[in-house]
């Protein structure tokens, strides 16, 4: 009986340490993915700042940096790969980054074109279009983040991560 109890105790310790190290590895993997997302979000913030200044050169520079960060983020995800054969978070992250790319290539670019119009051509109609584009951009980013969060939380649950 003592041997069985001892064996059971050793097995529990091994399983516990295995789960902990797996959770720690999953947390590190999640951090690598999030680090790439943070870089992209910072570039979005930089573009937003330049849009408020209405300096065409700064806007264009920030816009091209953002495009590069998104493309670089997708390449970085490819180099990171899946987590121990599980590609769920990788695929969700790629979907998120491609959503960013689509947003930047579409509504963001349209908004920039409108905001770079000379004052004489920036009518109330263009202003209304700009407001609608801003609302569309905000809604799309919110939708992308909500969809990603669901998948990230599922990944966290699978590997016993507490995600904030």
Q: Hey, where are the domains in the chain? A: 27-158
Residues 6+ apart with CB under 8 A from 147: 92, 95, 96
Gap between the Cα atoms of 19 and 67, Å rounded: 39
pTM of the complete model:
0.83
pLDDT at 23: 85
Closest CA to 87 of 155, 153, 163, 18: 155
Q: What is the mean pLDDT, run by run of 10 residues, along the chain of 164 residues?
A: 41 43 88 94 93 86 95 95 93 97 96 91 93 96 96 93 74
Which three-class secondary structure state does DSSP give residue 146?
helix
pLDDT at 75: 96
């Amino acid at each position: 009986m003592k041997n069985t109890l001892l064996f059971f105790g050793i097995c529990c310790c091994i399983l516990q340490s295995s789960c902990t190290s797996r959770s720690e590895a999953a947390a590190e993997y999640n951090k690598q993915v999030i680090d790439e997302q943070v870089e992209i979000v910072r570039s979005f913030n930089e573009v937003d700042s330049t849009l408020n200044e209405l300096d065409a050169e700064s806007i264009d520079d920030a816009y091209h940096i953002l495009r590069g960060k998104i493309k670089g983020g997708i390449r970085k995800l490819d180099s990171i790969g899946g987590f121990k054969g599980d590609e769920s978070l990788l695929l969700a992250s790629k979907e998120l980054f491609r959503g960013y790319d689509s947003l930047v290539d579409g509504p963001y670019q349209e908004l920039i074109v409108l905001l770079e119009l000379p004052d004489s051509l920036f009518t109330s109609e263009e202003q209304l279009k700009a407001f609608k584009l801003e609302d569309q951009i905000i809604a799309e980013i919110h939708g992308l983040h909500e969809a990603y969060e669901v998948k990230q939380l599922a990944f966290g649950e699978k590997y016993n991560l507490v995600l904030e």
